[in-house]
């Protein structure tokens, strides 16, 4: 078993022990205040889910903190060491052990358990809430830590900028390639676009024959470049038809003829002059 996994398991055990001690203190305080057991169980039942979520979030943050401190140990010369991590994780048990010192002369089991729980609570709060943040703050002020942190942040910014520039370059290349493909298709589509414009100018008067020819042109466009090629051919045909027959009412029969070819779907029927 790896050292990191052992530390996580020890921390989990310490966290469970800490929660049990807190629950014991709360229950004992409620009982001494004269609260019935059924009221205590009712309160704990409603808050169990919330406690579980908070503990899970806290454990995730702690585990991420351990991983992060191992990666930048030079910025945390003390808190990133194995000895400190072990001390941090076993602090609840150290508090329980310290509480055992006060067991001498106590006869009641509830009093014995209360002293152990209070020792756990006090030590854990002192180490996790007071000592650890204070040591981390002092470590950040050390000259070596500050210098390394500034260098690391500069490297992160440089890498982020490099990645953004690479993404922009890739986007430019993609757009340039798309434009090149469009121009190449435009040359190939000149002839079928002219033919479609002629069919539109005749208002589809030749019925099934005109539709069959237009469908064949649409299938070829789909095979050539998919929906984008069909849209390009459609736009070229409509533009040619408007240019040649400016005084003629143009109906977009192409969208109707091409319905069902590939992913082409007929939009609402439109007309233009």
The string of pLDDT tens digits covering residues 179-203 is 888 888 888 888 888 888 888 877 6
Question: Which residue, among 59, 27, 58, 57, has the nearest Cα to 43 in the 3D structure?
Answer: 27
Q: Whole-number mean pLDDT of the chain?
A: 77
pLDDT of residue 69: 47
Task: Count how many Cα atoms sit within 13 Å of the Cα of residue 88 in the half-sphere of its side chain.
Answer: 24
* Cβ-defined contacts of 116-121 (< 8 Å, 24+): 116/21, 117/21, 117/22, 117/24, 117/25, 118/25, 119/95, 120/17, 120/18, 120/21, 120/92, 120/93, 120/95, 120/96, 121/18, 121/21, 121/22, 121/25, 121/95
Say which residue, 9 or 29, is predicted with more confidence: 9
The predicted model scores a pTM of: 0.49
Lookup: tokens for 113: 């358990």
Where helices occur in the chain by DSSP H, the ranges are: 3-32, 37-71, 82-100, 109-125, 132-141, 143-188, 190-201, 208-244, 253-257
């Amino acid at each position: 078993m790896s050292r990191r996994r052992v530390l996580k398991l020890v921390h989990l055990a310490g966290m469970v022990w800490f929660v049990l001690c807190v629950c014991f203190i709360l229950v004992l305080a409620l009982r001494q205040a004269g609260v019935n057991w059924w009221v205590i169980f009712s309160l704990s039942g409603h808050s169990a889910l919330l406690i579980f979520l908070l503990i899970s979030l806290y454990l995730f943050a702690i585990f991420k903190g351990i991983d992060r401190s191992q990666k930048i140990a030079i910025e945390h010369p003390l808190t990133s060491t194995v000895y400190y991590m072990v001390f941090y994780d076993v602090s609840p048990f150290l508090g329980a052990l310290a509480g055992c010192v006060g067991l001498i002369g106590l006869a009641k089991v509830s009093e014995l358990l209360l002293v152990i729980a209070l020792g756990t609570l006090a030590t854990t709060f002192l180490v996790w809430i007071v000592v650890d943040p204070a040591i981390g703050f002092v470590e950040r002020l050390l000259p070596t830590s500050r210098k390394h942190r500034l260098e690391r942040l500069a490297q992160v910014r440089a890498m982020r900028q490099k990645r953004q520039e690479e993404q922009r370059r890739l986007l430019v290349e993609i757009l340039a390639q798309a434009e090149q493909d469009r121009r190449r298709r435009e040359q190939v589509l000149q002839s079928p676009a002219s033919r479609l414009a002629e069919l539109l100018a005749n208002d589809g008067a030749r019925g099934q024959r005109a539709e069959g020819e237009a469908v064949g042109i649409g299938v070829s466009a789909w095979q050539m470049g998919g929906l984008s090629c069909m849209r390009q051919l459609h736009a070229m045909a409509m533009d040619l038809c408007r240019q040649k027959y400016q005084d003629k009412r143009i109906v977009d029969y192409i969208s109707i003829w091409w319905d069902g070819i590939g992913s082409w779907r007929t939009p609402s029927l439109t007309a233009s002059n």
